[in-house]
Structure 1
């Protein structure tokens, strides 16, 4: 049910990008209406490589816009995840098994390429299944649609015939965008060769609009071959295919990566030639790997969805997709801890927010008005440092420290915190521990550390984190650190073996005063052994 005008105004005042996108859709409907009875959102997937995290990001972001639209309008919505699985198999991704076998199927529709993993009917079926299982795991409300089934089932036939009737107009749009050699062979129709089964990129010899057929010359036999453009006998060339899909399905909204900006413009022109209004949408920036390179399904660089979920919560992944979609961001393991802690911080704020502040909080776009009620007393970063200092190898050890710090906490009552404990153990073992580099304290630092022990021992065992933080500050100032950051960095390097670390007061409160004193004494005692 549509929200009140007051609530809609608050949502728009929030300036959250999903509401800005949803407003475009509302205005679109005011102009064009909808003869489908619903608003159609679409996301595209090319199953030429295994699904990657960018694919998930597009579905997650589109769902956020859909959620925002549903607050602002009572028109029903639908989301289609469309797989371009009739596309020709152009190259063998380097991260797949059975490379030699796959080479024999270059040019074949992806649904005709054998599954190199041996578990599904085809390579496309394997990848489509991987995509659906992951999206299902996140609880997305979507309908999966296969290009192969849409083409062969006749769903695209009417629009394909329109394309054939407007062939010259489409060619006039496309040819100026192509190189001289490509212009000689380009056609918006890619016939599926009746002899070889391959998707062909060949020039057309003739067209028969009334019969709905095209004629091309078989490059191997030299014979003229006539095929219908309907019924799965032809596939549309990429930009024409995108436009054809928008028109045939009646797509109202689809976002895409910045690298497809020019494709969106051309496909939009073709959609208008076919008598339709192109969908609303925007171009998001691309994700980069640890080296600043664009992540790619075929290269397998960057993070996979499964890898993120090994080290961080699903909600943290969704949040990372929400934040700054028009800004290029690194998508590698070291972004996970901050994403987890950002989620916890936004979740804590949400409970006290109203009006436009609530709608500006990413939590609304992830959970609506019903986010998890759990209060998490410990940050993920702090848990990582706790693992580092305690050398814990199991959840029970970490929970011992947590219970001393927050007696009311338990794995049963705090399932999110219990998950974070598990994530912290795995993340520390794989990414923090291998980079640890402890250094011995200098003579001056030894004096400061000894004074820190004295200051801590003046405080009760379960003092407030703020009191412990004050003690650390006091020692740093007493030892004439002009920049207290240097004092804290020294503590991180000496006690934790890393360049950066937690707020020391919070760490001491969680780890325990006596344990921290023991850690400092050990650093001093080990100085002579290093």
Structure 2
């Protein structure tokens, strides 16, 4: 997954993009119209990151999805308009609470309310601050994915003077900003609110205090510092920062941002951001609001809580490309971000990559793989699915990937870790996932199921040595059709009799593998081996599975 310069310079892709309906193209069209009206010669995309905790997958998702829109924009404009992606870190924010996942909360307590870049790194002395540590973690991951981006630090931008002209304008238009903000606040908060947050010269803390004076001419504010004395500081040079809502609009105005997406929790505040931006002389960017990610309990994932999946956790069990697919699909639908979503994402990704080779140009620009790889879709031969590998691991209890490869090589002669490195990685992921997450819950077969299993084993004994997955599947189906419990009269078999209900295959997986479901049974048997499967049946009938 890389956002290197567009490889799809074939005019056919540019032409196909003009009518493409995938969501990145729909968003990019809005941006094309925006630049046509403004006459601006560059499109600036921005993503925001709050480094109050380690970056999570949601943070990555903003960059990946924004890059997808950026790629769509480049195709729609035939790559004739320069684009930039700015990943902005709000690291001048005060640390309002101590994250749950730091080594020592006590060590961080003296630094509450200080800017995140003034709080010591709790993990090591490698980075100057807590904010710098988290920024480095974000950059490391984005670099791993090959994103084309520029990193921006609020601390650096405020202190270097990059925001000074707009901050002076904020002092001049203080009343207009307050007119926007005050109606959104309760009575108690209105009495003390100020869009300016001074950083105390005494303690270094970000102060939430009312202003005693805002001097637009001098560009200064006066407030009561922590020692009780009135203190005057300039609004420039990093002596103050803006409250987070005005900060959004200020940043858009100062930098000329054209596109920014954010989570649904920001949606109600978007009109505020827009109005502040316009007050400060800017034009609000195009927005895209995505739904939130949820943890296993259906709660919003949080950097400070550390719930949900981390970036490194996903990549322990699956490729970055599968993560890219998860980000592309249905961004306006709330989705659980937990370990159990990984296997499906992996197999869907390889399915889309395989389809890409067979598709027309118009179909390709709609394919998720196109957007995941920003046009540069690799060719991958994946003879075994991740779901099959997990079931193979469940049946074989592998200690190492080499055990899995023994079955794979027998199933697909000529396929090896050397010839299929992507499959080799998938095998490693499957072994780790099996060890950490797959729980077996076997059950004993009843009398009808025992008879069915004995019949399946007998049918498999009569199969030819070179039986493929279709032949194996057909043999299992032939057995099921003779058993009343598994007959589905709403379906028709090839011979005109009743079809087979899914209950039959569910029983096979529950009794033989200890799972509620699995991939196509014939494919599993072909991979695991017919004789190995017959032994599995014999062990299940003997009650050996229940003793595990």
TM-score of the superposition, structure 1-length normalised? 0.96
Query: Is contact 1:461–1:514 with CA below 8 Å preserved after alignment?
Result: no
Cα gap change, 1:281 to 1:408, in 2 (>3 Å)? farther
Match of 2:56 among 13, 35, 52: 52
Aligned to 1:286: 292
Asked if 1:413 is matched to 2:419, the reply is yes
Q: Secondary structure at the match of 1:255?
A: strand
Aligned to 1:141: 148
d(CA) in 2 for partners of 1:96 and 1:65? 35
Asked if 1:214 is matched to 2:221, the reply is yes
Cα gap change, 1:121 to 1:211, in 2 (>3 Å)? same
Aligned to 1:173: 180
Match of 2:377 among 371, 374, 380: 371
Structure 1, 112-121 or 316-325: larger mean CA deviation:
112-121
Aligned to 2:537: 520
Aligned to 2:229: 223
Q: State the 1:5 CA deviation.
A: 8.2
Cα gap change, 1:505 to 1:528, in 2 (>3 Å)? closer
Match of 2:518 among 497, 501, 519: 501
Cα gap change, 1:3 to 1:273, in 2 (>3 Å)? farther
d(CA) in 2 for partners of 1:140 and 1:424? 27
Show CA shifts across 1:448-493 (max 9, x none). Answer: 1111112112221221211111111111111111352111111011
Cα gap change, 1:510 to 1:310, in 2 (>3 Å)? same
Match of 2:481 among 460, 477, 483: 477
d(CA) in 1 for partners of 2:215 and 2:446? 86
Match of 1:341 among 336, 347, 365: 347
Q: State the 1:118 CA deviation.
A: 2.1
Q: State the 1:526 CA deviation.
A: 2.7
Q: State the 1:221 CA deviation.
A: 3.1
Aligned to 1:252: 258
Q: Secondary structure at the match of 1:230?
A: coil
Aligned to 2:68: 64
Show CA shifts across 1:38-61 (max 9, x none). Answer: 211111111111111111111111
Show CA shifts across 1:373-430 (max 9, x none). Answer: 1210000000000111112221111111111111131212211100000000010011
Match of 1:451 among 446, 451, 455: 455
d(CA) in 2 for partners of 1:114 and 1:3? 47
Q: Secondary structure at the match of 1:25?
A: helix
Q: Secondary structure at the match of 2:325?
A: helix
d(CA) in 1 for partners of 2:545 and 2:273? 70
Q: Secondary structure at the match of 1:254?
A: strand
Query: Is contact 2:121–2:129 with CA below 8 Å preserved after alignment?
Result: yes
d(CA) in 2 for partners of 1:319 and 1:528? 37
Query: RMSD in angstroms over aligned alpha carbons?
Result: 1.6
Query: Is contact 1:86–1:235 with CA below 8 Å preserved after alignment?
Result: yes
Cα gap change, 1:510 to 1:71, in 2 (>3 Å)? same
Query: Is contact 2:442–2:510 with CA below 8 Å preserved after alignment?
Result: yes
Query: Is contact 1:111–1:122 with CA below 8 Å preserved after alignment?
Result: yes
Asked if 1:189 is matched to 2:206, the reply is no
Q: State the 1:90 CA deviation.
A: 0.4
TM alignment of 1:16-95, pairs within 5 A: 16-34=22-40, 37-73=41-77, 74-95=80-101
d(CA) in 2 for partners of 1:172 and 1:282? 26
Aligned to 1:273: 279
Aligned to 1:381: 387
Q: Which runs of 4+ in 1 moved over 3 A?
A: 1-9, 527-530
Aligned to 2:19: 13
d(CA) in 1 for partners of 2:326 and 2:437? 20
Q: Secondary structure at the match of 1:225?
A: strand
d(CA) in 1 for partners of 2:416 and 2:378? 16
Say how many residue pairs are matched. 525
Aligned to 2:491: none
Q: State the 1:191 CA deviation.
A: 0.9
Q: State the 1:243 CA deviation.
A: 0.8
Structure 1, 389-398 or 279-288: larger mean CA deviation:
389-398
Cα gap change, 1:460 to 1:199, in 2 (>3 Å)? same
